[in-house]
Amino acid sequence: VWSRICGPLEAAIGRDAFTAWIAPLRFRSAENGVAQFGVPTTFFGNWVERNYRDIIVGLMTSEGVPVDRLSFDIIGNARPAPVPAALSNGYGAPAPQPQPTPVQRHAPALSRAPEQAAPPPAAAAAPEPELPGSPLDPRYNFDNFVVGKPNELAHAAARRVAEGGPVSFNPLFLYGGVGLGKTHLMHAIALEYQRQFPGKKVLYLSAEHFMYKFVQSLRFKDTLSFKQIFRSVDVLMVDDVQFISGKGSTQEEFFHTFNALVEQRKQVVISADRAPGEIDGLEDRIRSRLQWGLVVDVHPTDYELRLGILQSKAETHFAAQPDVQLASGVIEFLAHRISSNVRILEGALTRLFAFAGLVGRRIDLDMVQECLADTLRASDRKVTIDEIIRKVAEHYNLKINDLLSARRARSVARPRQIAMFLAKSLTSKSLPEIGRRFGGRDHTTVIHALRKIEELRQTDSGLAEDIELLRRMLEA
Ligand code: ADP
Ligand code: MG
């Protein structure tokens, strides 16, 4: 089964990603719903799990080998490294759909609202084409979204789109760092639009889900109905579009879908973690197309916005736990100390309320210190060169000594250059200092490394992805 799905998998995610992440997998078995693979490192397994699980699960299932999760063991290491079981994702495994007849072509039967995750249809029933959306979270609505300076433009633009009316900017492109409310705003648009125009079709999905659907259509030689479905919606929203960068034919199909909708003056809303111009591995024509409409930056939160968000979330908690007492100054302290990522802020408050509920104590600054020590420590933490060296060595399965040695073999030299590049971009250390820390090298060696990596990042999307991932892990 593995050899049969490798072709469509490669077509969907692109040669580079396939070579980097799929080819090294050692397929072992698929039994009792679990597909087992050997991987070089735990990290490698986690990455595959995070980025390619759905697609692998879907393809294997559609090949008649039903699996619902992946499991990894480290090659050359007897101890298996289990990865958390996949959550049910509602993708299911639809049976092959019939080729549409010409009659269907102009009137696809769209029966399912996008917020309903599609259950897998029974193998025998001929499934109707349906809107393949990701589920919407009803709490991610406009009422629960706190507006401040950093997100006011994004919010206003989202409101405008949700009101319907003539399409005034297309696409709306929202971008910003993790946990700043992009997904929340996208859901809010979809929910509000549906509420106002129940007859219209709003399709919200992650770029990953888009890819998954596309690969399935390739698999079942059913791209025609894929195209029909995606081109028949009134509003298309694709979240985290950076995911499809470097992913061959998925990117291509996204571009065509996008163009077809914009031509029909249907609204398209896109989100990404970076500005269109900064998404590596995206074709130039797609990049420029994405900039045609309104590009809005969701900025990191400032103190006032964090305060507002905390107050609003605290109210929600109070509704459920009216007995909890909150000392004054706690909200201010959290807003001051916790980073700009709203998800972490929310998590902190949730923990405090849970703790207070359990021990029956008032939430005060002592409890904050006790309960959130790790979060607070993480929030004032700076990345160090030592950490970079350690992480890069671990990531490439090298010894730290090798990384710092004089060895010039590519397998060591390239990771070394990547580590220097990360040291330059994530710390404030000077070039001579970086050289010194990397086994006493000259600063010109560091400059050479930075140039080399800059250059490779443009041409090698696998390497660019790797660097991005390391950066995130180091900054997390
Ligand atoms: P992103 O998609 O940008 O990574 P999310 O939309 O997933 O971020 O937001 C992370 C969490 O923070 C969500 O639970 C969301 O509800 C919350 N959040 C972010 N911004 C706001 C805001 N302005 N008001 C209320 N909640 C917010
Ligand atoms: Mg998001």
- Positive or negative CA dihedral for 284, 275, 289, 51? positive
User: How confident is the model at residue 185, as a pLDDT?
Assistant: 98
Return d(Cα 159, Cα 164) in angstroms, integer: 9
Chain segment 71-111, per-residue pLDDT in tens: 998 876 444 334 333 333 333 333 333 333 333 333 333 33
Spatial neighbors of 378 by CB under 8 A, at least 6 apart, are none
Judged by its nearest atom, the ligand closest to the C-alpha of residue 187 is 1
Residue nearest to atom 11 of ligand 1 (CA): 343
Spatial neighbors of 90 by CB under 8 A, at least 6 apart, are 117, 118, 119, 135
The annotated binding site for ATP is made up of 179, 181-183
| Paired tokens of 440 | 């006493």
User: How confident is the model at residue 155, as a pLDDT?
Assistant: 97
Positions of the chain with pLDDT lower than 70, given as ranges: 76-130, 340, 378-381, 475-476
Judged by its nearest atom, the ligand closest to the C-alpha of residue 177 is 1
Spatial neighbors of 28 by CB under 8 A, at least 6 apart, are 36, 37, 38, 73
The annotated binding site is made up of 179, 181-183
- Give, as one character, the DSSP assignment of residue 216: H
Instruction: State whether the beta carbon of 174 lies less than 6 angstroms from ligand 1.
Output: no
User: How confident is the model at residue 168, as a pLDDT?
Assistant: 80
Q: Is the ipTM of this complex over 0.90?
A: yes
- The model's pTM is 0.60
Instruction: State whether the beta carbon of 249 lies less than 6 angstroms from ligand 1.
Output: no
Return d(Cα 2, Cα 30) in angstroms, integer: 9
Class of residue 14 by CB neighbours under 10 A (exposed 0-12, middle 13-18, buried 19+): buried
Instruction: State whether the beta carbon of 297 lies less than 6 angstroms from ligand 1.
Output: no
Instruction: State whether the beta carbon of 150 lies less than 6 angstroms from ligand 1.
Output: no
CA distances from 280 to 18, 205, 286, 424, 468 (A): 17, 21, 12, 19, 10
User: How confident is the model at residue 437, as a pLDDT?
Assistant: 93
Class of residue 206 by CB neighbours under 10 A (exposed 0-12, middle 13-18, buried 19+): buried
- Domains (ranges, CATH) in the chain? 2-74 (3.30.300.180), 133-297 (3.40.50.300), 303-379 (1.10.8.60), 385-475 (1.10.1750.10)
* Distance of CA 342 from the midpoint of ligand 1 (Å): 6
User: How confident is the model at residue 379, as a pLDDT?
Assistant: 64
Chain segment 387-433, per-residue pLDDT in tens: 999 999 999 999 999 999 999 999 999 999 999 999 988 877 888 99
